[in-house]
Amino acid sequence: MKRVFFGCIAAILVCVWVGVASAEYKKTMKLASALPMDHPYMVGSKKFADLIKDRTGGRIVIKLYPSNQLGKGEREMTEGIQQGAIDLLITSTGPLGGFCPSINILDFPFLFRDFEHVDRVLDGSIGRRLLDDFEKADIKGLAFWENGFRHLTNNRVAVRNVGDAKGLKIRTMENKVHLAAWKAAGLNPTPMAWGEVYTALQQKVIDGQENPVAVFYSSKFWEVQKHFSLTQHVYSPSPLLMSKKTFYAMPKDDQALFVKTALEVAKFQRKINRDAEEAKLKEIAAKGVAVVRNVDKESFRKAMAPVYGAFSDQFSRADIEAIMNAR
C-alpha cells in the first residue's frame, strides 16, 4: 500500500516536472529546404510549423527557409543539421548516404512499384529502422515525407526507351547508387549540387536532369528543357530531419509532439504531392514541353539491373527483397 502511495507521488512529481519544463521551454527554429514555397516540401513544412506553434501555445516557432537559402544544396544543409546550425531539413535521400549509408537502400532503381508499396515500406518497420539509423550520424529522423517518382527530362531527344537516352549528359544527385544506375544505362551522368542545375541546363553544360513532376514544375524547367519522359525509374523519399542537438534539448513532451506531428503531416504532404501531379504535368505540356507518357520502362529496368549486384557487399539480397516483397 505504502509502495503504491509513494509510486503515485513520484509519478505526479515527474508529470509536474515535465509539464513545467515544457511550459518553460521556448525556441525559434530554422527549417530549410532546396525548393520554393509552392513546392509540396514547403507546403508540408508550413503546415508542420503552424501545427507546432498551435500545439505548443506559441512556445516553439519554426521559421521557413526555402530555395537553398541556408546552403547551396542538400549535402551542405545536412552538414548544417549535424552541426546544429539548422534545426530542421526536408531533403531527398540524394546525398544522405554520405552521412548514413543504410539509407541508400531506398535509392535502387525500380525498387518500388507504386505509391501503395512505398507507403507500406516507409510507414512500416523498415522505414522506422532507417529513420532510427540517422541517430548514429547525429541526426534525428522524424518521418518520411515525399519527393516522388523521378523522371528523365532533356533538351535533345524524345526518349521513349533506354536506347534513345544513350550518351545524354545528365545531372544526377550526389548519390553513388543513382550514378552507377545511369552509367549502366549508357548515359553520361554528372553529380551536381541542386543550386547549380538550372544554370547548367540553361548554358547547355548538361542536356538533362531527372526529378519528380513537382520539382520540374516549381523550378520552371520548361524554360530550359524540351522533353519530359515518364520513366518513373526511381522513387525519391524525403525524410524530415532534425538536428539531434535541437531535438534532445527539448523536453520529452515536445520531442514526442515533434515525432507525432511529423508523421501526421507526412500523410498530408504525400497526398497533396500525388493529387497535384497530373494537373502539373498537363500545365508543363501546355508550356510547350513534349511529354512522352508511354516510355518503355522495362528497357530502363533491364539496363539498370546490374546496379543491384554492384552494391551487393553493402546491401544484402534479403534486405532488398524484404522491401520488394513488402505486402
Q: Can you give the binding site for ligand PAF, defined by CB under 6 A? A: 34-35, 74, 91-92, 94, 147, 173, 194, 211, 215, 236
- Cα Rg of the chain, angstroms: 21
* Shortest CB 74 distance to ligand PAF, Å: 5
Burial of 12 (0-12, 13-18, 19+ CB in 10 A): exposed
Q: Which three cell numbers stand for residue 69?
A: 537559402
* Shortest CB 254 distance to ligand PAF, Å: 27
- 296 φ/ψ sector (left φ>0, alpha ψ -120 to 50, else beta): beta
Closer residue to ligand PAF in complex, CB, 236/243: 236
Closer residue to ligand PAF in complex, CB, 89/184: 89
* Shortest CB 164 distance to ligand PAF, Å: 22
> By C-alpha distance, which of 38, 36, 62 is closest to 48?
62
* Shortest CB 39 distance to ligand PAF, Å: 8
Determine contact, residues 147/92, Cβ cutoff 8 Å.
Answer: yes
> By C-alpha distance, which of 86, 87, 27 is closest to 56?
27
* Shortest CB 91 distance to ligand PAF, Å: 6
Residue type, 175: N
Nearest position to ligand PAF, beta carbon: 92
Closer residue to ligand PAF in complex, CB, 91/246: 91
Closer residue to ligand PAF in complex, CB, 221/258: 221
Residue type, 163: G
Closer residue to ligand PAF in complex, CB, 87/174: 174
Relative orientation angle of helices 252-286 and 40-55, to the nearest 10 degrees: 150
